Amino acid sequence: MANVQQRYGITEPISLGGPTELDVVKTRELEKYLQDVGLYEGKEEAVRREEVLGRLDQIVKIWIKTISRAKGLNDQLLHEANAEIFTFGSYRLGVHGPGADIDTLCVGPRHATREGDFFGELQRMLSEMPEVTELHPVPDAHVPLMGFKLNGISIDLLYAQLPLWVIPKDLDISQDSILQNADEQTVRSLNGCRVTDQILRLVPNIENFRTTLRCMRFWAKRRGVYSNVSGFLGGINWALLVARICQLYPNALPNMLASRFFRVYTQWRWPNPVLLCSIDGGSFGLQVWDPRRNPKDRLHMMPIITPAYPCMNSSYNVSASTLRIMTGEFQRGKYICEAMEANKADWDTLFEPFAFFEAYKNYLQIDISAANVDDLRKWKGWVESRLRQLTLKIERHTYDMLQCHPHTHDYQDASRPLHCSYFMGLQRKHGVPAAEGEQFDIRRTVEEFKHTVNGYMLWIPGMEIGVSHIKRRSIPSFVFPGGVRPSHASKGTWDSKRRSENRIASTASAATTNTNEASSESKGGSSSLGDGKKRKRGDDETLTDQLRNSKRVGVAVPVENGEGGSPDPSVGSVCSSPLKDCLTDAKSDPISKDPPENVVLFSKDTPESHPLEKIATLQAQSQETEELEDSFDFGNQVIEQISNKDTIVAASATTPPFEATTSNGSPFSNGAVEELEVLPMGHPEVTHRALVQQRKPIIKLNFTSLGKTNGK
């Protein structure tokens, strides 16, 4: 009898096909590429990490003996007193690179408390050791930890206090019984190690998983979508997504896995969850992700569920804007992988950095400063954890009409060492017609955000924050490499080529539309062919004269695409999970090939000096015509039909049905959910009127400046 291959995951795989000769060659190229860009650490550093972990293990064992003696434990318990160190995260998964930190967990007995002993005696011991530097305890975090460097290696140390008098040396934390009678912070601290180990158990080939994960982590960082705190995805999220692809293609090599990653998640209809295994309800009463019972779980935009009990959504930070950006990046990756198969692109193309400061015309700049280096580090950590709230507030207060793209990194001006800046791209939601003179006044939103940030419990004088609205041409030079602003936009990249192609296509489409409309009008209003031709010729001449003499510039804006270079995910995604019956009402429609277009007019004679109260977010001075075109066409990509229909059919069975209902017994839908929190929100009334033939007014999309608020 033939051996039956083990099934990984909750469904049958999409394909059991093995690699082709081309896959083998491409995988070797990928591995060499990842090595050449420096993603693998050297042997010396690997040995040093092991030595550091050994030293940390000695330190916590000395610590536990010290506090056991101080608390008067008997000789037997004092002799058996023990604490164990476990690793998790990228180091445990085997995908860490040079200089990466090591996520570690210290497991201690019941008499070693978190507040008094871990953040007390152990912190004091570490502070007195010369080999320990940059010690930074964070006791009030969602998962309390201590960050520090031990012999130059960055360590993030968590603590789990188990209800045991003695911690055995062969402790197995993968068993659910370890969670019995554990406090909430201990459960969260243990979760990292338990999830990491479970991922490695649930993938068919660990080496292929690791190479593919290295690839996707590098890609996500280059494209600016690697940051959990900013509302994108962090390390564990990308690991779970890659692991699911490995389950669906168990015999594929990293080259094919990377390609299928983009194909599957381009078609995935969020908020259907990504699951590596069935959700275990457990027997200890811990809350697990379950939208049937937990209303807040229904609000999650992009659920990626951890495989260890208690199963939780690891991507609750994702917002509507960041989901849109990531889905667009998945589409871009899919197109490039298809081009690579046709030898029209290479790995350099896939890993092109995202030109964030070319992608938008309007940005928010968040500046923070402090009195000294230590205060700035604390202040930065707090502000970074709150920036996601600014994105959510703007989306909520503008009813999702103003979309935000947070940059995942901060920038520092060399001339101001105790200062750093964060940036956020802004754009109007596409596909929504703009009313004349419509404004986005977010001054109050920003003031609420600043008030929240200034409520930091450890705030001291000198910790300052300011938020301002800036144009692309006013972006400070210190954000650019070498502190030099580029003289022109990026050229020769995949994004710029697609931008040019789509600009040409958009112009041709607009011209065709105008011609058809003119032809239709001439035919309907004339009783003879000759009259029709004359009227058509006259209309064309009139249109030409208007375009030549008008003070307005017409720019074709494909509504499926943002200035950020990522197609709108709302256009025809294909569901990769049958959960659509309970989590969304949408159907598995094929991807639209011809997105609609929308022409927006901008005044050319807008004054250069704008009142502080009304700064237009989309304005085109005569000298900025080229900038306008680059801005609105940035990264446009034509949505193509999925060629492999078998893959679509198979992928749409990747998750079993999840019978979820609302309180009234009907299947609930997440289609209208825009935020991560349950907040009452009254939408403005919209009156739909029949279209009337009239001269279109100049449309100005206005933005209220923050300059006055900040005292500028």
Q: Give pLDDT, residue 147.
A: 94
pLDDT, averaged in runs of 10, over the chain (712 residues): 67 93 94 96 95 97 96 92 96 95 97 95 96 91 93 96 94 93 94 96 97 98 95 96 97 97 96 94 87 93 96 93 95 96 93 94 95 91 91 90 93 92 92 69 93 92 95 93 78 64 61 56 45 41 34 28 41 36 35 32 30 30 32 31 38 41 34 31 37 36 42 44
Domain 7-37+203-354 in CATH 1.10.1410.10? The answer is: yes
CA distance 596 to 614: 30
What are the tens digits of pLDDT across the range 291-333?
Answer: 999 999 999 999 999 999 999 999 999 998 899 999 999 999 9
CA distance 294 to 188: 19
Q: What are phi and psi of 698, to 5 degrees?
A: -70, 130
What are the tens digits of pLDDT across the range 489-517?
Answer: 666 676 766 656 665 665 665 566 555 55
Spatial CB neighbours of 44, under 8 Å, sequence gap ≥ 6:
none
Q: Give the class (CATH, top level) of 356-480.
A: alpha beta
Q: Is the pTM value of this prediction over 0.75?
A: no
- 98 exposure class (CB count in 10 Å sphere: 0-12, 13-18, 19+): exposed
Contact 81, 107 (CB under 8 A): no
Domains 7-37+203-354 and 356-480 share a fold: no
Q: Give pLDDT, residue 673.
A: 29
Q: What are phi and psi of 564, to 5 degrees?
A: -75, 0
- Alpha carbon 647 to its chain's center: 26
CATH architecture of 43-201: 2-Layer Sandwich (3.30)
Domain ranges of the chain: 7-37+203-354, 43-201, 356-480
Phi-psi region of 228 (alpha: psi -120 to 50; beta: other; left: phi over 0): alpha
